[in-house]
């Protein structure tokens, strides 16, 4: 696929994602089909749910009408099997209209938590082909769309849970991180389109992993794997300015922690320590045995926290985003393991910050 076409595919993602945060609706589908057709240079595009056409744009729109039942056998089979299907020729597509101009098709199911909820449909006119590169880009787009539909479902669920559960769900996905990563990908579409494409795919996988976190606890080994996936995007954004070291003994990796408590500390170290600092800086993740348990430390060589702020950073909502993440982690630790497990913060302006917590060993 030419460079310009790769850029168009990535711009499609960045333009369409905000539309899908409200779920798969006729309105979001209509705008999405317009973007699909224009950005992927298609002759027609459609979005369907599991029963009807939500939107259709391009050739064939005279008989593939929004609100009508799905007409093509290829689409019905893709929805049933839950996998991407492609076809060339009217018979393979399965439209009953003999004068249908659609000649090549790809149907990409959208899934939420393993359940098919709809599909994206890409079309070229007769005697034209979609091409491998366009198909690869479309599959990456569909994967990321599925993740965003899961986020929409998460929003609906959040309205039904208790306040404590709501805060835990919000703690899993940082808007600051989302904003920074999408900006990084947008910038790379022009400088390195192939790398931007790979980041889009990894971003979709990362968000899916985040949403699929289940249970209250995880091992430190699992938490470090999650942090490493997160750091892929921060390294893309900051490049050589960011160095990360991990110093964790094998026996400490079995420590059981509340799920998703290490990554917010690393994110805060990068955003509020390393990023404002001129030049490069480092973040260190360490763990050691301590008092029938384990102490986990995240330290940075960033700008540090002024003394007048240090006593307030664990207040919920204090400052420019620093308080919310740390306060959430602090309260979760204390509620599970007692006051002694809360966050300890040491900092010196111009030198950096250490944030640590203690968890008991498993019995």
Query: How far is it, in rounded angstroms, from Cα 61 to Cα 335?
Result: 57
* CATH code assigned to 219-360: 3.30.565.10
pLDDT in tens, 269-323: 998 999 999 999 999 999 999 988 999 999 999 999 998 888 888 876 654 444 4
Query: Which whole number is the average pLDDT over 21-29?
Result: 80
* CATH code assigned to 3-158: 3.30.450.40
Work out the percent of the chain whose per-residue pLDDT is above 70. Answer: 81
Cα distance from N-terminal residue to C-terminal residue, the chain: 56
pLDDT value for 314: 84
pLDDT interval class at 41 (50, 70, 90): confident
Query: How far is it, in rounded angstroms, from Cα 296 to Cα 257?
Result: 10
Range with lowest mean pLDDT among 63-72, 81-90, 159-168: 159-168
Residue 177 has pLDDT above 80, yes or no: no
pLDDT value for 310: 87
CA distances from 80 to 86, 121, 127, 143, 245 (A): 14, 15, 28, 17, 46
pLDDT value for 115: 85
Question: Where do the domains of the chain lie?
Answer: 3-158, 219-360
pLDDT value for 255: 94
Q: Please name the residues in contact with 280: beta carbons below 8 A apart, sequence gap of 6 or more.
A: 240, 241, 242, 243
CA distances from 13 to 40, 68, 170, 189 (A): 11, 27, 23, 11
Query: How far is it, in rounded angstroms, from Cα 296 to Cα 329?
Result: 13
Residue 3 has pLDDT above 60, yes or no: no
pLDDT in tens, 335-363: 888 888 999 999 999 999 999 999 999 75
Task: Return the higher-pLDDT residue of 89 and 161.
Answer: 89
Task: Output the CA torsion 272→273→277→281 (10° steps).
Answer: -140
Top-ranked range on mean pLDDT: pick from 22-26, 98-102, 300-304: 300-304
Average pLDDT over all residues of the chain: 83
pLDDT in tens, 234-248: 888 888 999 999 999
Dihedrals phi, psi of 138, to nearest 5 degrees: -65, -40
What is the full DSSP assignment across 312-362?
TTTSTT-TTTHHHHHHHHHHHHHHHH-GGGS-EEEEETTTEEEEEEEEEPP
Query: How far is it, in rounded angstroms, from Cα 304 to Cα 315?
Result: 18
pLDDT value for 133: 76
pTM: 0.61
Residue 274 DSSP symbol: I
Q: Nearest Cα to 10, choosing from 249, 266, 264, 182?
A: 182
């Amino acid at each position: 696929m030419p460079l310009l076409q790769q850029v168009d595919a990535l711009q499609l993602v960045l333009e369409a994602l905000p539309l899908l945060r409200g779920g798969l609706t006729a309105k979001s589908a209509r705008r999405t089909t317009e973007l699909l057709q224009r950005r992927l240079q298609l002759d027609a595009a459609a979005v369907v749910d599991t029963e009807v056409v939500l939107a259709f744009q391009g050739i064939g729109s005279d008989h593939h009408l929004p609100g009508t039942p799905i007409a093509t056998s290829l689409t019905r089979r893709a929805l049933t099997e839950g996998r991407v299907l492609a076809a060339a020729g009217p018979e393979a597509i399965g439209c009953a209209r003999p004068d249908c101009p659609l000649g090549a098709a790809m149907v990409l199911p959208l899934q939420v938590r393993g359940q098919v909820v709809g599909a994206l449909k890409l079309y070229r006119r007769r005697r034209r082909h979609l091409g491998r590169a366009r198909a690869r880009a479309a599959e990456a787009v569909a994967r990321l769309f599925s993740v965003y539909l899961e986020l929409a479902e998460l929003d609906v669920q959040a309205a039904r849970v208790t306040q404590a559960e709501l805060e835990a769900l919000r703690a899993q996905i940082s808007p600051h991180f989302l904003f920074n990563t999408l900006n990084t990908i947008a910038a790379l579409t022009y400088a390195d389109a192939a790398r931007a494409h790979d980041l889009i795919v990894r971003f979709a996988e990362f968000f899916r992993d985040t949403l699929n976190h289940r249970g209250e606890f995880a091992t430190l080994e699992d938490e470090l794997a999650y942090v490493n996936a997160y750091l892929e995007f921060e390294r893309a954004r900051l490049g050589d300015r960011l160095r990360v070291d991990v110093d964790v003994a094998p026996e400490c990796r079995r420590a059981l922690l509340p799920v998703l408590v290490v990554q917010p500390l690393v994110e805060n170290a990068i955003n509020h320590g390393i990023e404002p600092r001129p030049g490069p800086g480092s973040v260190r993740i360490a763990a050691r045995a301590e008092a029938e348990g384990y102490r986990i430390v995240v330290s940075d060589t960033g700008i540090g926290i002024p003394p007048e702020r240090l006593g307030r950073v664990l207040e919920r909502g204090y400052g420019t985003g620093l308080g919310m993440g740390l306060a959430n982690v602090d309260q979760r630790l204390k509620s599970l393991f007692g006051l002694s497990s809360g966050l300890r913060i040491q900092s010196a302006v111009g030198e950096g910050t250490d944030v640590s917590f203690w968890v008991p060993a498993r019995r």
